[in-house]
Structure 1
Amino acid sequence: MPKPPLLSSPELERSSVVANNTMNRERGLTGVNSYARELGVDLLAHLAHRPAPSWLDLCSGEGRALREAASALPAEAVLTAVDLVGPLAPRSAPPALEEIVASVSSWTPPRTYDLITCVHGLHYIGDQLGLLTRAASWLTEDGLLAAHFDPESVRHADGSPAARPALSALRAAGYSYSPRHHRLTLRGGRPVQLPFHYLGADPTAGPNYTGQPAIASYYTAS
Protein backbone atom coordinates (compact mmCIF):
# COMPACT_ATOMS: atom_id res chain seq x y z
CA MET A 1 0.00 0.00 0.00
CA PRO A 2 1.58 3.34 -1.01
CA LYS A 3 2.39 5.81 1.73
CA PRO A 4 0.08 8.88 1.65
CA PRO A 5 1.66 12.24 0.82
CA LEU A 6 2.81 13.92 4.01
CA LEU A 7 1.97 17.55 4.69
CA SER A 8 4.08 20.20 6.39
CA SER A 9 2.57 22.07 9.35
CA PRO A 10 1.39 25.08 7.27
CA GLU A 11 -0.20 22.73 4.71
CA LEU A 12 -1.81 20.67 7.46
CA GLU A 13 -3.32 23.75 9.09
CA ARG A 14 -5.13 24.53 5.83
CA SER A 15 -6.64 21.04 5.61
CA SER A 16 -10.31 20.32 6.31
CA VAL A 17 -9.40 18.00 9.19
CA VAL A 18 -7.69 20.74 11.18
CA ALA A 19 -10.34 23.29 10.15
CA ASN A 20 -13.08 20.96 11.47
CA ASN A 21 -16.09 23.11 12.33
CA THR A 22 -17.74 20.31 14.33
CA MET A 23 -14.92 20.31 16.87
CA ASN A 24 -15.97 20.99 20.48
CA ARG A 25 -14.61 24.47 21.27
CA GLU A 26 -16.97 25.31 24.15
CA ARG A 27 -15.67 23.30 27.13
CA GLY A 28 -15.89 25.09 30.44
CA LEU A 29 -13.82 24.73 33.58
CA THR A 30 -16.06 22.31 35.50
CA GLY A 31 -19.19 20.28 34.87
CA VAL A 32 -20.24 17.71 32.27
CA ASN A 33 -18.52 19.30 29.27
CA SER A 34 -15.40 20.55 31.00
CA TYR A 35 -11.65 20.52 31.34
CA ALA A 36 -11.93 19.01 34.83
CA ARG A 37 -13.90 16.03 33.46
CA GLU A 38 -11.73 15.55 30.38
CA LEU A 39 -8.39 15.81 32.20
CA GLY A 40 -9.40 14.30 35.55
CA VAL A 41 -7.69 17.16 37.39
CA ASP A 42 -8.98 19.88 39.72
CA LEU A 43 -7.19 22.66 37.86
CA LEU A 44 -8.05 25.42 40.32
CA ALA A 45 -6.75 23.29 43.20
CA HIS A 46 -3.45 22.90 41.35
CA LEU A 47 -3.22 26.67 40.92
CA ALA A 48 -4.37 27.51 44.45
CA HIS A 49 -2.03 29.03 47.04
CA ARG A 50 0.18 30.57 44.37
CA PRO A 51 0.50 34.37 44.54
CA ALA A 52 0.48 34.72 40.75
CA PRO A 53 -0.75 31.44 39.23
CA SER A 54 -0.17 30.92 35.52
CA TRP A 55 -2.02 28.71 33.04
CA LEU A 56 -1.30 28.14 29.35
CA ASP A 57 -4.04 26.47 27.30
CA LEU A 58 -2.98 25.19 23.89
CA CYS A 59 -5.68 24.77 21.21
CA SER A 60 -7.97 26.75 23.49
CA GLY A 61 -11.03 27.13 21.26
CA GLU A 62 -13.41 29.75 22.65
CA GLY A 63 -11.38 29.99 25.87
CA ARG A 64 -14.34 29.38 28.19
CA ALA A 65 -12.34 27.47 30.80
CA LEU A 66 -9.78 30.24 31.20
CA ARG A 67 -12.48 32.92 31.31
CA GLU A 68 -14.21 31.04 34.12
CA ALA A 69 -10.91 30.52 35.95
CA ALA A 70 -10.11 34.25 35.77
CA SER A 71 -12.96 35.07 38.16
CA ALA A 72 -11.73 32.53 40.72
CA LEU A 73 -8.00 33.36 40.65
CA PRO A 74 -6.05 36.33 42.05
CA ALA A 75 -5.80 39.49 39.98
CA GLU A 76 -2.11 38.70 39.47
CA ALA A 77 -2.90 35.47 37.62
CA VAL A 78 -1.54 35.01 34.10
CA LEU A 79 -3.84 33.11 31.74
CA THR A 80 -2.77 32.52 28.14
CA ALA A 81 -4.99 30.98 25.47
CA VAL A 82 -3.41 29.97 22.15
CA ASP A 83 -5.53 28.81 19.22
CA LEU A 84 -5.05 28.61 15.47
CA VAL A 85 -8.17 30.70 14.76
CA GLY A 86 -8.98 32.13 18.18
CA PRO A 87 -12.50 32.66 19.55
CA LEU A 88 -15.12 32.62 16.80
CA ALA A 89 -17.38 34.88 18.87
CA PRO A 90 -15.22 37.93 19.73
CA ARG A 91 -15.81 39.35 23.20
CA SER A 92 -13.78 41.34 25.68
CA ALA A 93 -11.33 39.26 27.71
CA PRO A 94 -10.78 39.50 31.49
CA PRO A 95 -7.63 41.47 32.41
CA ALA A 96 -5.77 38.27 33.39
CA LEU A 97 -6.44 36.56 30.05
CA GLU A 98 -4.36 36.98 26.91
CA GLU A 99 -5.82 35.39 23.77
CA ILE A 100 -3.25 34.63 21.09
CA VAL A 101 -4.10 33.59 17.54
CA ALA A 102 -1.15 31.49 16.40
CA SER A 103 -0.06 28.03 15.39
CA VAL A 104 1.08 26.08 18.45
CA SER A 105 3.49 24.27 16.12
CA SER A 106 5.67 27.38 15.90
CA TRP A 107 4.57 29.64 18.80
CA THR A 108 6.80 29.90 21.88
CA PRO A 109 5.88 31.65 25.14
CA PRO A 110 8.14 34.27 26.76
CA ARG A 111 7.70 32.71 30.22
CA THR A 112 7.01 29.47 32.08
CA TYR A 113 3.65 28.30 33.47
CA ASP A 114 2.32 26.46 36.52
CA LEU A 115 -0.20 24.64 34.34
CA ILE A 116 -0.25 23.73 30.64
CA THR A 117 -3.26 22.01 29.10
CA CYS A 118 -4.14 20.71 25.64
CA VAL A 119 -7.61 19.14 25.55
CA HIS A 120 -7.97 16.97 22.44
CA GLY A 121 -5.70 19.38 20.56
CA LEU A 122 -2.76 17.11 19.79
CA HIS A 123 -4.99 15.11 17.43
CA TYR A 124 -4.64 17.99 14.95
CA ILE A 125 -0.97 18.86 15.44
CA GLY A 126 1.53 17.46 12.93
CA ASP A 127 4.60 17.22 15.14
CA GLN A 128 2.90 16.07 18.32
CA LEU A 129 6.08 14.79 19.91
CA GLY A 130 7.87 18.02 19.08
CA LEU A 131 5.19 20.08 20.81
CA LEU A 132 5.30 17.84 23.88
CA THR A 133 9.07 18.23 24.00
CA ARG A 134 8.86 22.03 23.78
CA ALA A 135 6.03 22.27 26.30
CA ALA A 136 8.09 20.41 28.91
CA SER A 137 10.49 23.37 28.99
CA TRP A 138 7.59 25.82 29.42
CA LEU A 139 6.63 24.39 32.83
CA THR A 140 7.68 25.85 36.16
CA GLU A 141 9.64 23.66 38.56
CA ASP A 142 6.45 22.20 40.05
CA GLY A 143 4.21 22.80 37.05
CA LEU A 144 1.79 20.31 35.50
CA LEU A 145 1.27 19.45 31.83
CA ALA A 146 -1.97 17.60 31.03
CA ALA A 147 -2.98 16.68 27.49
CA HIS A 148 -4.86 14.07 25.49
CA PHE A 149 -2.61 11.90 23.37
CA ASP A 150 -3.36 9.06 20.97
CA PRO A 151 -0.21 6.94 20.58
CA GLU A 152 -1.83 5.09 17.66
CA SER A 153 -1.48 8.30 15.63
CA VAL A 154 2.32 8.06 15.72
CA ARG A 155 3.76 6.18 12.74
CA HIS A 156 7.13 5.07 11.41
CA ALA A 157 8.28 6.35 8.03
CA ASP A 158 6.82 3.27 6.31
CA GLY A 159 3.42 3.83 7.92
CA SER A 160 3.70 1.07 10.51
CA PRO A 161 2.63 1.84 14.10
CA ALA A 162 5.14 3.58 16.36
CA ALA A 163 2.94 3.73 19.45
CA ARG A 164 5.14 1.48 21.59
CA PRO A 165 8.47 3.24 21.00
CA ALA A 166 6.77 6.64 21.32
CA LEU A 167 5.23 5.78 24.69
CA SER A 168 8.46 4.15 25.86
CA ALA A 169 10.42 7.31 25.04
CA LEU A 170 7.85 9.58 26.67
CA ARG A 171 7.79 7.52 29.87
CA ALA A 172 11.59 7.43 29.97
CA ALA A 173 11.52 11.25 29.79
CA GLY A 174 9.19 11.45 32.81
CA TYR A 175 5.71 11.57 31.27
CA SER A 176 2.89 9.39 32.60
CA TYR A 177 0.20 7.98 30.34
CA SER A 178 -3.27 6.63 31.11
CA PRO A 179 -4.40 4.36 28.23
CA ARG A 180 -7.95 4.24 29.54
CA HIS A 181 -8.41 8.01 29.34
CA HIS A 182 -5.73 8.80 26.71
CA ARG A 183 -4.23 11.31 29.15
CA LEU A 184 -0.58 12.28 29.12
CA THR A 185 0.86 14.18 32.08
CA LEU A 186 4.21 15.59 33.10
CA ARG A 187 5.03 17.10 36.48
CA GLY A 188 7.91 19.55 36.71
CA GLY A 189 9.55 21.51 33.93
CA ARG A 190 12.66 20.03 32.34
CA PRO A 191 14.56 19.78 29.06
CA VAL A 192 13.34 16.78 27.06
CA GLN A 193 14.82 15.10 24.03
CA LEU A 194 12.93 12.33 22.24
CA PRO A 195 14.64 10.00 19.71
CA PHE A 196 12.40 10.95 16.79
CA HIS A 197 12.70 13.14 13.71
CA TYR A 198 9.43 14.50 12.32
CA LEU A 199 8.68 13.82 8.64
CA GLY A 200 5.19 15.22 8.13
CA ALA A 201 1.54 14.39 8.74
CA ASP A 202 -1.28 12.57 6.99
CA PRO A 203 -4.70 14.28 7.35
CA THR A 204 -6.47 11.32 5.70
CA ALA A 205 -5.77 8.90 8.56
CA GLY A 206 -9.47 8.78 9.49
CA PRO A 207 -11.26 8.91 12.87
CA ASN A 208 -9.35 8.24 16.07
CA TYR A 209 -10.73 7.08 19.44
CA THR A 210 -12.87 10.26 19.71
CA GLY A 211 -14.77 9.35 16.54
CA GLN A 212 -13.57 12.57 14.89
CA PRO A 213 -11.22 12.67 11.87
CA ALA A 214 -7.63 13.12 13.07
CA ILE A 215 -4.12 13.15 11.65
CA ALA A 216 -1.25 10.65 11.73
CA SER A 217 2.25 11.92 12.51
CA TYR A 218 5.22 10.27 10.79
CA TYR A 219 8.71 10.00 12.30
CA THR A 220 12.08 8.38 11.79
CA ALA A 221 14.42 7.43 14.61
CA SER A 222 17.00 10.09 15.36
Structure 2
Amino acid sequence: MRLLTENELIWSSIVANNRMNRKRNASGINSYERELKFKPEVYLNTCLKQQGHVKWLDLCCGEGNALIQYARELADKGSQHRGTLLGIDLIDQFQPIPSFVSCLRFQISSLVNWENEDQYDLITCVHGLHYVGDKLKVLSQGLRSVSDQGLIMANLDLNNVKIEGDSKGQYLKKLFIENEIEYNVRRKLIICKGSRNINFNLTYKGADDKTGPNYTGQDAVDSYYS
Protein backbone atom coordinates (compact mmCIF):
# COMPACT_ATOMS: atom_id res chain seq x y z
CA MET A 1 0.00 0.00 0.00
CA ARG A 2 1.29 3.45 -0.92
CA LEU A 3 0.79 5.94 1.91
CA LEU A 4 0.12 9.59 1.24
CA THR A 5 2.29 12.42 2.55
CA GLU A 6 0.63 15.35 4.33
CA ASN A 7 1.00 17.53 1.22
CA GLU A 8 -0.73 14.88 -0.89
CA LEU A 9 -3.43 14.24 1.67
CA ILE A 10 -4.72 17.81 1.80
CA TRP A 11 -5.79 17.48 -1.86
CA SER A 12 -7.81 14.35 -1.16
CA SER A 13 -11.56 14.58 -1.74
CA ILE A 14 -12.02 12.69 1.54
CA VAL A 15 -10.23 15.41 3.50
CA ALA A 16 -12.29 18.09 1.77
CA ASN A 17 -15.47 16.38 3.02
CA ASN A 18 -18.11 19.00 3.77
CA ARG A 19 -20.69 16.67 5.30
CA MET A 20 -19.33 16.34 8.82
CA ASN A 21 -18.71 19.47 10.86
CA ARG A 22 -19.41 22.27 8.41
CA LYS A 23 -22.71 23.62 9.73
CA ARG A 24 -22.88 22.73 13.43
CA ASN A 25 -23.81 25.35 16.00
CA ALA A 26 -22.63 25.36 19.60
CA SER A 27 -26.01 24.17 20.87
CA GLY A 28 -29.34 23.14 19.39
CA ILE A 29 -30.44 20.43 16.96
CA ASN A 30 -27.32 20.19 14.75
CA SER A 31 -24.67 21.13 17.26
CA TYR A 32 -21.65 20.41 19.41
CA GLU A 33 -24.07 19.92 22.28
CA ARG A 34 -25.48 16.83 20.58
CA GLU A 35 -22.11 15.47 19.47
CA LEU A 36 -20.21 16.08 22.72
CA LYS A 37 -23.09 15.88 25.23
CA PHE A 38 -21.74 19.20 26.43
CA LYS A 39 -22.76 22.84 25.99
CA PRO A 40 -19.67 24.91 25.14
CA GLU A 41 -21.33 28.20 26.08
CA VAL A 42 -22.30 26.99 29.56
CA TYR A 43 -18.75 25.87 30.27
CA LEU A 44 -17.26 29.06 28.78
CA ASN A 45 -19.61 31.30 30.75
CA THR A 46 -18.52 29.56 33.95
CA CYS A 47 -14.87 30.20 33.02
CA LEU A 48 -15.73 33.80 32.25
CA LYS A 49 -17.35 34.27 35.62
CA GLN A 50 -14.43 32.71 37.46
CA GLN A 51 -11.55 34.21 35.48
CA GLY A 52 -12.84 37.41 33.90
CA HIS A 53 -11.72 36.28 30.44
CA VAL A 54 -12.26 33.20 28.29
CA LYS A 55 -10.49 31.65 25.29
CA TRP A 56 -11.96 29.03 22.94
CA LEU A 57 -10.07 27.30 20.11
CA ASP A 58 -12.14 25.23 17.67
CA LEU A 59 -10.05 22.97 15.42
CA CYS A 60 -11.62 21.89 12.11
CA CYS A 61 -14.33 24.44 12.82
CA GLY A 62 -16.10 24.06 9.45
CA GLU A 63 -18.21 27.12 8.71
CA GLY A 64 -17.53 28.42 12.21
CA ASN A 65 -21.17 28.54 13.23
CA ALA A 66 -20.51 27.35 16.78
CA LEU A 67 -17.99 30.13 17.36
CA ILE A 68 -20.24 32.74 15.77
CA GLN A 69 -23.13 31.64 18.00
CA TYR A 70 -21.08 32.18 21.15
CA ALA A 71 -19.54 35.42 19.82
CA ARG A 72 -23.07 36.77 19.35
CA GLU A 73 -23.86 35.85 22.95
CA LEU A 74 -20.78 37.72 24.18
CA ALA A 75 -21.74 40.70 22.04
CA ASP A 76 -25.29 40.71 23.41
CA LYS A 77 -23.86 40.80 26.94
CA GLY A 78 -21.34 43.52 26.13
CA SER A 79 -18.55 41.08 27.02
CA GLN A 80 -16.61 40.76 23.77
CA HIS A 81 -13.54 42.38 25.32
CA ARG A 82 -13.46 39.43 27.73
CA GLY A 83 -13.44 36.72 25.06
CA THR A 84 -10.95 35.38 22.49
CA LEU A 85 -12.34 32.93 19.95
CA LEU A 86 -10.33 31.26 17.18
CA GLY A 87 -11.45 28.78 14.53
CA ILE A 88 -9.05 26.85 12.29
CA ASP A 89 -9.98 24.85 9.21
CA LEU A 90 -8.23 23.60 6.09
CA ILE A 91 -10.94 24.95 3.80
CA ASP A 92 -12.17 28.53 3.58
CA GLN A 93 -15.90 27.95 3.96
CA PHE A 94 -16.32 30.18 7.00
CA GLN A 95 -19.55 32.08 7.42
CA PRO A 96 -19.07 35.87 7.40
CA ILE A 97 -18.26 37.23 10.85
CA PRO A 98 -20.99 39.74 11.78
CA SER A 99 -19.76 43.32 11.60
CA PHE A 100 -20.44 43.87 15.31
CA VAL A 101 -18.29 40.87 16.36
CA SER A 102 -14.71 41.71 17.34
CA CYS A 103 -13.72 38.74 19.53
CA LEU A 104 -13.57 36.09 16.78
CA ARG A 105 -11.18 35.30 13.96
CA PHE A 106 -10.78 32.43 11.52
CA GLN A 107 -7.56 30.92 10.22
CA ILE A 108 -7.05 28.73 7.15
CA SER A 109 -4.49 26.07 7.99
CA SER A 110 -3.70 22.38 8.00
CA LEU A 111 -3.79 21.23 11.61
CA VAL A 112 -0.57 19.30 11.12
CA ASN A 113 1.23 22.59 10.35
CA TRP A 114 -0.58 24.46 13.10
CA GLU A 115 1.71 26.04 15.68
CA ASN A 116 0.51 27.59 18.90
CA GLU A 117 1.97 29.40 21.88
CA ASP A 118 -1.31 30.37 23.55
CA GLN A 119 -3.32 28.36 26.02
CA TYR A 120 -7.08 28.01 25.89
CA ASP A 121 -9.86 27.37 28.36
CA LEU A 122 -11.62 25.18 25.82
CA ILE A 123 -10.34 23.32 22.76
CA THR A 124 -12.79 21.38 20.60
CA CYS A 125 -12.24 19.21 17.55
CA VAL A 126 -15.54 17.70 16.44
CA HIS A 127 -14.92 14.89 13.91
CA GLY A 128 -11.88 16.75 12.55
CA LEU A 129 -9.17 14.22 13.37
CA HIS A 130 -10.85 11.66 11.11
CA TYR A 131 -9.40 13.54 8.12
CA VAL A 132 -5.94 14.38 9.48
CA GLY A 133 -2.81 12.45 8.55
CA ASP A 134 -0.61 12.75 11.62
CA LYS A 135 -3.44 12.62 14.13
CA LEU A 136 -1.14 12.15 17.12
CA LYS A 137 0.92 15.24 16.31
CA VAL A 138 -2.26 17.33 16.26
CA LEU A 139 -3.56 15.71 19.44
CA SER A 140 -0.24 16.32 21.19
CA GLN A 141 -0.31 20.00 20.22
CA GLY A 142 -3.90 20.30 21.39
CA LEU A 143 -3.14 18.70 24.75
CA ARG A 144 -0.26 21.13 25.30
CA SER A 145 -2.43 24.10 24.36
CA VAL A 146 -5.04 23.64 27.08
CA SER A 147 -4.73 25.88 30.12
CA ASP A 148 -4.11 24.29 33.53
CA GLN A 149 -7.82 24.40 34.32
CA GLY A 150 -8.95 24.12 30.70
CA LEU A 151 -10.67 21.34 28.79
CA ILE A 152 -10.07 19.62 25.46
CA MET A 153 -12.69 17.46 23.75
CA ALA A 154 -11.90 15.73 20.47
CA ASN A 155 -13.37 12.86 18.47
CA LEU A 156 -10.79 10.16 17.72
CA ASP A 157 -11.49 6.72 16.31
CA LEU A 158 -8.61 4.49 17.40
CA ASN A 159 -9.48 2.14 14.55
CA ASN A 160 -8.10 4.84 12.22
CA VAL A 161 -4.73 4.84 14.01
CA LYS A 162 -2.56 1.95 12.82
CA ILE A 163 0.50 1.28 15.00
CA GLU A 164 3.02 -1.33 13.93
CA GLY A 165 3.14 -4.19 16.44
CA ASP A 166 -0.07 -3.09 18.19
CA SER A 167 -2.65 -5.27 16.45
CA LYS A 168 -4.96 -5.27 19.49
CA GLY A 169 -4.97 -1.47 19.72
CA GLN A 170 -3.89 -1.20 23.35
CA TYR A 171 -0.93 1.17 23.06
CA LEU A 172 -2.85 4.45 23.03
CA LYS A 173 -5.46 3.30 25.54
CA LYS A 174 -2.69 2.48 28.01
CA LEU A 175 -0.94 5.80 27.36
CA PHE A 176 -4.18 7.71 27.93
CA ILE A 177 -4.75 5.95 31.25
CA GLU A 178 -1.18 6.66 32.39
CA ASN A 179 -1.65 10.38 31.62
CA GLU A 180 -5.16 10.61 33.11
CA ILE A 181 -6.79 11.30 29.77
CA GLU A 182 -10.33 9.97 29.46
CA TYR A 183 -11.17 8.05 26.30
CA ASN A 184 -14.81 7.15 25.78
CA VAL A 185 -14.70 4.02 23.62
CA ARG A 186 -18.39 4.09 22.70
CA ARG A 187 -18.46 7.75 21.69
CA LYS A 188 -14.88 7.77 20.31
CA LEU A 189 -14.18 10.88 22.35
CA ILE A 190 -11.10 12.19 24.15
CA ILE A 191 -11.76 14.35 27.20
CA CYS A 192 -8.90 15.89 29.13
CA LYS A 193 -8.89 18.48 31.89
CA GLY A 194 -5.68 20.50 32.07
CA SER A 195 -2.55 20.59 29.95
CA ARG A 196 -0.53 17.46 29.08
CA ASN A 197 2.92 17.17 27.50
CA ILE A 198 2.90 13.74 25.89
CA ASN A 199 5.54 12.08 23.73
CA PHE A 200 3.84 9.25 21.87
CA ASN A 201 7.27 7.80 20.93
CA LEU A 202 6.01 6.87 17.48
CA THR A 203 7.15 7.71 13.96
CA TYR A 204 4.48 8.84 11.51
CA LYS A 205 4.69 6.89 8.23
CA GLY A 206 1.84 8.34 6.16
CA ALA A 207 -1.90 8.13 5.54
CA ASP A 208 -4.41 6.08 3.57
CA ASP A 209 -7.51 7.92 2.33
CA LYS A 210 -9.10 4.79 0.85
CA THR A 211 -9.94 3.06 4.12
CA GLY A 212 -13.68 3.69 3.73
CA PRO A 213 -16.25 4.73 6.35
CA ASN A 214 -15.52 4.74 10.06
CA TYR A 215 -18.12 4.75 12.88
CA THR A 216 -19.62 8.02 11.58
CA GLY A 217 -20.65 6.38 8.31
CA GLN A 218 -18.39 8.81 6.40
CA ASP A 219 -15.12 7.97 4.69
CA ALA A 220 -12.14 8.61 6.93
CA VAL A 221 -8.33 8.53 6.81
CA ASP A 222 -6.13 5.86 8.38
CA SER A 223 -2.87 7.09 9.93
CA TYR A 224 0.14 4.76 10.12
CA TYR A 225 2.88 4.76 12.78
CA SER A 226 5.82 2.64 13.79
Q: Give TM-score scaled by structure 2 length.
A: 0.89
Task: Give the aligned partner of residue 68 of structure 2.
Answer: 67
Secondary structure of the residue aligned to 2:207 is strand
Q: 1:44 to 1:90 in 2, by over 3 A?
A: closer
Q: Work out whether 1:83 is the aligned partner of 2:89.
A: yes
Structure 1: how far apart are the matches of 2:98 and 2:42? 26
Structure 2: how far apart are the matches of 1:135 and 1:22? 24
Task: Give the aligned partner of residue 198 of structure 2.
Answer: 192
Structure 2: how far apart are the matches of 1:77 and 1:30? 18
Secondary structure of the residue aligned to 2:30 is coil
Residue from 113, 116, 139 that aligns with 2:123 = 116
Structure 2: how far apart are the matches of 1:162 and 1:199? 19
Q: Work out whether 1:39 is the aligned partner of 2:32.
A: no
Q: 1:102 to 1:155 in 2, by over 3 A?
A: same
Secondary structure of the residue aligned to 1:71 is helix
| Percent identity of equivalent pairs | 38
The Cα shift of 1:91 comes to: 4.8
Comparing 55-64 with 27-36, greater Cα deviation is found at 27-36
More strand by share: 1
Amino acid across the alignment from 2:163:
H
Q: Deviations over 1:101-126 (max 9, x none)?
A: 11111111231100000000000011
Q: Work out whether 1:182 is the aligned partner of 2:172.
A: no
Residue from 109, 128, 140 that aligns with 1:102 = 109
Contact 1:54-1:79 at 8 Å conserved across structures: yes
Structure 2: how far apart are the matches of 1:162 and 1:101? 36
Structure 2: how far apart are the matches of 1:89 and 1:32? 19
Task: Give the aligned partner of residue 166 of structure 1.
Answer: 172
Structure 1: how far apart are the matches of 2:106 and 2:216? 26
Q: 1:6 to 1:70 in 2, by over 3 A?
A: same
Structure 1: how far apart are the matches of 2:158 and 2:146? 22
Task: Give the aligned partner of residue 6 of structure 1.
Answer: 3
Structure 2: how far apart are the matches of 1:119 and 1:21? 13
Comparing 108-117 with 168-177, greater Cα deviation is found at 168-177
RMSD, aligned α-carbons: 1.7
Q: Give TM-score scaled by structure 1 length.
A: 0.91
Structure 2: how far apart are the matches of 1:29 and 1:89? 14
Secondary structure of the residue aligned to 1:163 is coil
Q: Deviations over 1:64-103 (max 9, x none)?
A: 0000011223212000000001325545462110100111
More helix by share: 2
Structure 1 stretches of 4+ moved >6 Å:
none
Amino acid across the alignment from 1:100:
Q
Amino acid across the alignment from 1:175:
I
Q: Work out whether 1:206 is the aligned partner of 2:186.
A: no
Contact 2:26-2:39 at 8 Å conserved across structures: no
Task: Give the aligned partner of residue 140 of structure 2.
Answer: 133
Structure 1: how far apart are the matches of 2:175 and 2:169? 10
Residue from 24, 37, 41 that aligns with 1:27 = 24
How many residues are treated as equivalent by the alignment?
A: 216
